[in-house]
Amino acid sequence: MTTPPEKIVREIRINPIVPSESVLVATARSMRPKKAEEPAPRDTRSHVATCPFCTGNDHMTPPV
C-alpha cells in the first residue's frame, strides 16, 4: 500500500536550544506495516547476592 504524494506530510522541527539543528519528521512512517518484535532475553535468576535491587539486599542501596 503506497500513500499518494499529496497525502504525505513532512514536518521539519528545529531544536530551540541549538537553532542550527533540525530534524525531518516523516509522519507517513506510522502507516507502515509493523513487524512483531521478539522479546528481549531476560535474566531468570531469582536472587543475586551482589545486586542491590534483589529482594533482601535493601541494605546495599544508598539512602535517598
Would you say 21 and 15 are in contact if contact means Cβ atoms under 8 Å apart? yes
- Distance between terminal CA atoms of the chain? 53
Distance CA 13, CA 16 (A): 9
Please tell me whether the overall predicted TM-score, pTM, comes out greater than 0.85 for this model.
no
Measure the CA–CA gap between 25 and 31, rounded to whole angstroms. Answer: 14
State the pLDDT at residue 6.
63
Distance CA 39, CA 31 (A): 23
pLDDT for position 3: 60
3-47: per-residue pLDDT in tens? 666 666 678 888 888 888 888 887 777 777 777 778 888 777 788
